[in-house]
Chains A and B, each alone.
Chain A
Amino acid sequence: MAPDFRRPHHLPKVRGDLGADPAELPRQRRGKTPQMHGRYPDYDCLEHAGHWDALTRRVVLDRVEQVPELRFFTAAEAAALGAFCDVVLAQDAEPRIPVLALVDRKLAEGRLDGYQYADMPDDRETWRLVAAGLDHSARERSTDSYAASPLELQQRIMDAFAEAELSGGAWETLNVKHAWGVVMRSVLAAFYSHPWAWNEIGFGGPAYPRGYARLGIGLSEAWEGDEAFDLDPGSDL
């Protein structure tokens, strides 16, 4: 049965141990979302790029069209961190938002965030140490590297990272809790600044200079996407 998103039954805390289930979601029918599932299958914010000011349009479209080559990370670091980004964002299939490439560009350009924890190195060094730490934790659990570990092990190491329960190797030079914060700050900014992610969550996008006029409960602009729960009559039936 198609889910009804007025009810909260699909939310992780309500489902409890069952976790989230993207299999219930409709496939994206317009534009792209990461892994092509979303709540708004007929909404593609990029169709409205003509309504954005030119400066903003360039910045947003570049995230899709100008995926940068890796300059900052080494191949080994990129393998570990790329796998980590996929796991922590549940990007288990194409199309994927190129999160690591966007992070790499930011670090290569030295665009840091204006603060560094007293018990931590520079953010750039933190990223390298986290890559080494992930591989260390994988080897401790008898695999060759984090990237080569089975998905289930990658997830367990990721969970232990989030709970600051990793130690040994590169982790000893980091405050693991703060390292999680440093890494995730950039990972989330890269993923949720990408218009494919906006399609998935039904975000209106830049909206300048157009703005919004219909603000109340349950109201939408004519061009905003609606949640759709039904199966696609063309391909699903």
Chain B
Amino acid sequence: MVTLLQFTLDGLALGNARVDEFTQLTLNGLTLGSVYALIALGYSLVYGILKLLNFAHGDVFMVGTFIGFGTLQVLGGSTDPVVPVWALLILITLAAMAGCAVLGVAIERFAYRPLRDAPRIAPLISALGVSFFIAYSMQLMFGAALKNYDTFSLDGGALYFKGFDIGNVRVPLIRIITIVSAFVMMILLWLLVTRTRIGKAMRATSHDREAAAMMGIDIDKVIVFAFVLGSALAGAAGVLFALRVPTYATIGFLIGLKGFTAAVIGGIGSIPGALAGGLVLGFAEAYTQGYVSTRWSDLFVFVILILFLLFRPQGLLGKADIRKV
């Protein structure tokens, strides 16, 4: 009887540990997925209008992390900020968004617009070239060492020690900020695209560029706006990511590829799809690291990409392309 009781208690303890592990991995996936969703949105916005895969987008994200870091230092750093913590976080995010928006406009103007009427391969190669140019320029200017926001030093570690618990799993403030901010931005984007004039113009251009032009929509303006929006979101994603994880100049390539994978999973060109894809990818990565192997998670992510491209190229929420023959 005692043995049975002990076995039951051990089983319950093991069960509780398993539940805690699952909860923590889900939280990891949600945090990561929120960042991937913001990056995927940038891919979807540009692809939806231009049918162009902007492979420099991951490096725009990286530049966002650096702008956030630089702004943080200007505002006193994490040990001695000159503004309250909440204001500091808003300011570094806005700075990253603004800086990345400008970068996005420059990339569109100089790397893609001249190739708009060229064969599709040309802007793709240009995108790859821009990606490497940005990454290695940043490395040359700022070095290859990690840049750590050191958010642990902010307000005596409040972002880590404050929060709430789900069972035995802590949900610290820093994760709440990351997840909530990402969702708020996605909702604001959805409202902008569905409820505003410029959003309507973007949807029209995405549906049929020539027809939209004939209806009097300024296509160049719409395209630039798409780059501004997408790049600003990448900048915001950069800050949200770097609040918890140090950044470096070549981080953008792999994270950009994962953001692209999220966009494909969700349905490239679809905004709700980008959110869905980001979350699916975040959870897949977290659960693979937790239950299979940490060495296999990147492999698994790209296997998912290949499987979607082979069997469901339109993604979870995208629409299959119908071509008139």
Q: Do A and B interact with each other, yes or no? A: no
A interface vs B, CB < 8 Å? none
Q: Taking beta carbons and an 8 Å cutoff, which residues of B are in contact with A?
A: none
